[in-house]
A and B are shown apart, each in its own frame.
Chain A
Amino acid sequence: MKKTLLAALLTAMAAGAQAEINVGVTLSATGPAASLGIPEKNTIDLMPKMIAGQKVNYIVLDDASDTTTAVKNTKKLISEHKVDVVIGSTTSPNSLAMIDVVAEGETPMISMAAAARIVEPMDEKRKWVFKTPQNDAQMSTALVEHMTSNNIKTVAYIGFSDAYGEGWWNEFAKIAQARKLTLVANERFNRADTTVTGQILKILSAKPDAVLIGGAGTPAALPQKSLKEKGYKGVIYQTHGVANNDFLRVCGKDCEGTVLPSGPVLVVAQLPADNPVKKSAQEYVSKYEAAHGKGSVSTFGAHAWDAGLLLANAVPGALKKGQPGTREFRAALRESLEQTKNLSAAHGVFNMSAQDHLGFDQRARVLVTVKQGAWTFIK
C-alpha cells in the first residue's frame, strides 16, 4: 500500500516536472570575466517565469571564468538537471569548450560570448549552438569604415594576450589590409598588467595615425591612459568590450574622443525613433534599471536578455512537437531557434538560418564616441 502510494507520488512528481521547461545557465559571475557575468546573472532574474503557459525554471551555475568548470557545469546541467536548453557561457574559451558537451547531449545552447568560431564554420556539432553577441568581424568593419572615411592611413594595435585580443587582431588585420590601411605595430598586454609603458613606447615610435585597443572592460583603459600620458595626439579606437560605465569612470578625461563600435543598446536614448531596435532595447533598459537602479545597465547583460528573447520566441513552436524534458522537444527547440525571423532584440534584429546561428546584420551595431564623459551616438 505504502509502496504504491510512493510510486504514484513519484510518477506524479515526475509528470509535474516534465511539463516545466528547465533552462540551465552557466556564466562567469566570479573570476576575471565577473564584470560581464554579473550583469548577465542579474538579467537572468528578469527573464519570463512563464513561456506559452509553461512554467520555466532557471538553474544558474557559476563557472568562475574557468573553462574546465564551464564544461563540468554543462555536463551537470544536462545529465542531472535534464535541462532543455543551456544558456552560456560568458567568455569565448568557455563557450567553445562547451560545444562538444551540448552536441553529445543533443541540447541546444545559446552562448553570450563574442567569438565567431562559436557558431562558424557550421558543422554537425555547431548545429546545436547559437549565440547572441555580434561577431568581431561586423564590429571591425564598422571601425575600418570610420578610419578610411577619416583619412587614417596607418594603424597600430594593442590587445589582450588572450582569445579576445587575438580574435580582434585576426579580424581587424584582415579587413584593414583589404581596405589598404597599413598596420604598423601589433602589441599585447595582460588584463592584470600594472603598466604598458613598453608596448606604448613601441607603438609611439611607429608613429601611427590611429591606435586600436583590443581589450574588454576597465583593463582597456590602461593603454589609453598611457598613450595620453606620453602625449599621443592621434585617434584612439576601442572595441565594444569596453562599453560599460565603469570604463568611463576609470578612464576619466583620457577617454574623450575615443571611438568604438557597440550594440545599439548602449545609446538607446539617442537612437533615432525609426531605428528598429530602439523599442526592444528600451524595454530591456527600463526593466534592468527598474530592478538595479538608474545607469546600472550594461551591454553585456543585454546579450543574456537577447538569449532569453530567442528562447521565448522559439518555445511555442517547439511545444507543438514534444513535451519539455524529452529529446524530441530539444530537437524541436533547436529547429525552432534556427527559424527565428525578424526578432527585434536589445542588440539588433535576429534572422537565423541553418548556416547563420547569430543572425545579426548591420542594424546590430552603431558607432559611439565619448563626449564629456558620456557615450554619444555618431551614426
Chain B
Amino acid sequence: MDLQILLLLGQDGITNGAIYALLALALVLVFTVTRVIFIPQGEFVAYGALTLASLQTDKVPGTVWLLLGLGIIVALLDGAKLLRERRYAKLPPLLIANIGVPLIAAAGLFAMPPAQLPLALQVLIAMLLVVPLGPMIYRVAFQPLAGASVLVLLIVSVAVHVALIGLGLLFFGAEGSRTPAFTELSFELAGAPLQGQTILVVVASALLIIGLYFFFERTLYGKALRATAMNRTGARLMGIPPALAGKLCFTLAAAIGAFSGILIAPITTIYYDSGFLIGLKGFVGAIIGGLASYPLAALGAILVGLLESYASFYASAFKEVIVFTLIIPVLLWRSLSARHVEEEEE
C-alpha cells in the first residue's frame, strides 16, 4: 500500500463520511426535539435521488402522488379540527398549502417535460417534491402521538420506514438509477486523481453544516428548536407550540436527506431501498455523539466513513461487520463514562 492508495481511500472515506455526517445531524436534531429515532431518514436520501433521476428521464415521479395523498390526509385532519373550532378563515390557506400546491406541481410536470430544464431547476423541483413530505409525515404519523414514550415513537418510525420502502418500490421500481455528474471537473492532488463531484459533496456538506449552525444560533426559529430540545415543557410555557417545532425539524430532516441523496446520486447507484443502510451508518455516527451532541455526531459519522473505506481495502468481506461493530465499544464507553439520566417522566 502506497501513499496514493492511502490518499484515495481517505478521500473516498471523507466523501461518504460527509453524507453520513449530514444524516447524523438530522437524526440528532429530530431526536432531541421530538424524541423520535427517525429511521426513515435514509428514505429521504433515496427519494431525493430517485425523484431527480425520474425527472431527468422525463417520467413523472411517483412522489407527486404521495405528496398529493399525504396533503389530502393532512387537509382532512386539520380541516376537521378547524371546522369544529369554527375558524373558517384558516381553511383556504390550509387547503392551498396541502392540496393546491401538489396539484399545481403535478399539473406543471405534465405540462412541461422536466428533462429539458437546466439541472439546477431539476434539483429545485426534486427538493420541492420531497421536502414537504417531512412535515406531512410528522403531522400524520407522529403528531397525534407526540406525548408517547420513545419506544412507541420508535415503533411508529419503523412502520413509516416500511411504508416508505414499499412505496419507493412502487414509484421507482426495483432497479437503481444514477444521475449525470454535476461537474466533469477532475484534479490531481499529491499524485492522486480528485473528482470534482467529490469536492462538491464535501463543500456542500460543510456549507450546509455551517448554515445549520447559523440557523440555530441566529434565527428565532432555530432558537425555538433548541429551546424545545432542551426542555419541552419549558419551551411550551414560553409559547413555542410543540407541533410547530416538530414540523420544522422534520422539514429540516427531509431537506437534509433529500439534498444528501441528490449529492450522491451521481457517484453511486441509488435503489429504492439504499437509503436505509446509508441512514443506518449516519445513525452509528449519531450514537457516537450520544444522540445529543452535534459536533461529536458529525465527527463520528466521518470516522464511520473513513473506517468503512479502509476496511473495504483490507477486508472487504467484513466491511459491514467492522463498521457496525464500532457501535459496541462506543456504547460501552458511553454507558461507563456518562451518568445515565432518565429522560422519561411517565
A residues in contact (CB < 8 Å) with B: 30-32, 34-35, 37-38, 158, 161, 187-190, 192-199, 201-202, 205, 217-219, 221-222, 229-230, 244, 246, 249-250, 252
Using A30-B166, A198-B311, A250-B269 as known contacts, say yes or no to A161 and B316 having CB atoms under 8 A apart: yes
Using A30-B166, A218-B269 as known contacts, say yes or no to A197 and B312 having CB atoms under 8 A apart: yes
Q: Is B269 within 8 A of A198, CB to CB? A: no
Q: Is A195 within 8 A of B16, CB to CB? A: yes
Query: CA–CA, A222 to B316, complex, Å?
Result: 15
The stretch from B76-84, B218-226, B244-252, B270-278 touching chain A is B270-278
Known: A38-B173, A194-B268, A197-B312. 19 other contacts (CB 8 A): A35-B174, A158-B316, A161-B317, A188-B319, A190-B319, A192-B274, A194-B267, A194-B274, A194-B278, A198-B316, A201-B8, A205-B1, A205-B5, A218-B176, A218-B269, A218-B271, A219-B269, A230-B193, A250-B269
B residues in contact (CB < 8 Å) with A: 1, 5, 8-9, 12, 15-16, 166, 169, 173-178, 193, 195, 264, 267-269, 271, 273-274, 276-278, 309-314, 316-317, 319-320
Contacts of A202 in B (CB 8 A): 313, 316
Contacts of B319 in A (CB 8 A): 161, 188-190, 193, 198
25 contacts between A and B (CB under 8 A): A30-B169, A32-B273, A37-B174, A38-B174, A188-B317, A189-B316, A193-B319, A194-B268, A194-B278, A197-B8, A198-B9, A198-B12, A198-B310, A198-B311, A198-B312, A198-B314, A198-B316, A201-B5, A201-B9, A219-B271, A229-B195, A244-B175, A246-B175, A249-B175, A250-B177
Query: CA–CA, A337 to B176, complex, Å?
Result: 37
- Which residue of A37, A198, A244 has the most chain B CB atoms within 10 A of its CB atom? A198
Shortest C-beta distance, A218 to chain B (Å), equals 5
Cross-interface CB contact of B316 among A35, A199, A205, A221, cutoff 8 Å: A199
Query: CA–CA, A378 to B173, complex, Å?
Result: 31
Give the nearest-CB partner of B305 in chain A.
A195
Cross-interface CB contact of B267 among A158, A161, A195, A217, cutoff 8 Å: A195
Query: CA–CA, A246 to B269, complex, Å?
Result: 12
Q: Is B312 within 8 A of A189, CB to CB? A: yes
Shortest C-beta distance, B163 to chain A (Å), equals 13
Query: CA–CA, A229 to B273, complex, Å?
Result: 25
Query: CA–CA, A189 to B317, complex, Å?
Result: 7
Give the nearest-CB partner of B2 in chain A.
A205
Q: Is A187 within 8 A of B9, CB to CB? A: no
Query: CA–CA, A161 to B273, complex, Å?
Result: 18
Q: Is A195 within 8 A of B268, CB to CB? A: yes
Q: Is A188 within 8 A of B264, CB to CB? A: no
Q: Is A34 within 8 A of B317, CB to CB? A: no
Query: CA–CA, A158 to B312, complex, Å?
Result: 12
Query: CA–CA, A312 to B175, complex, Å?
Result: 31
Shortest C-beta distance, A204 to chain B (Å), equals 9
Query: CA–CA, A194 to B195, complex, Å?
Result: 16
Shortest C-beta distance, A164 to chain B (Å), equals 14
Shortest C-beta distance, A238 to chain B (Å), equals 15
Shortest C-beta distance, B140 to chain A (Å), equals 23
Query: CA–CA, A345 to B265, complex, Å?
Result: 40
Q: Is A197 within 8 A of B309, CB to CB? A: yes
Query: CA–CA, A199 to B312, complex, Å?
Result: 6
Shortest C-beta distance, A338 to chain B (Å), equals 34
The list of the 4 closest CB pairs from A to B, nearest first, reads: A198-B312, A198-B313, A34-B174, A246-B175
Cross-interface CB contact of B169 among A34, A189, A201, A249, cutoff 8 Å: A34
Query: CA–CA, A222 to B176, complex, Å?
Result: 11
- Which residue of B278, B313, B320 has the most chain A CB atoms within 10 A of its CB atom? B313
Q: Is B268 within 8 A of A217, CB to CB? A: no
Using A34-B174, A161-B317, A205-B5 as known contacts, say yes or no to A192 and B271 having CB atoms under 8 A apart: yes
Contacts of A32 in B (CB 8 A): 273
Contacts of A192 in B (CB 8 A): 271, 273-274, 276-277
Shortest C-beta distance, A200 to chain B (Å), equals 9
Cross-interface CB contact of A250 among B16, B175, B274, cutoff 8 Å: B175
Cross-interface CB contact of B178 among A30, A161, A244, A250, cutoff 8 Å: A250
Query: CA–CA, A193 to B193, complex, Å?
Result: 22
Give the nearest-CB partner of A205 in chain B.
B5
Shortest C-beta distance, A163 to chain B (Å), equals 13
Contacts of A217 in B (CB 8 A): 175
- Which residue of A31, A193, A221 has the most chain B CB atoms within 10 A of its CB atom? A193
- Which residue of A190, A192, A201, A219 has the most chain B CB atoms within 10 A of its CB atom? A192
Query: CA–CA, A319 to B311, complex, Å?
Result: 58
Query: CA–CA, A230 to B264, complex, Å?
Result: 18
Q: Is A194 within 8 A of B312, CB to CB? A: no
Shortest C-beta distance, B274 to chain A (Å), equals 5
Query: CA–CA, A204 to B319, complex, Å?
Result: 19
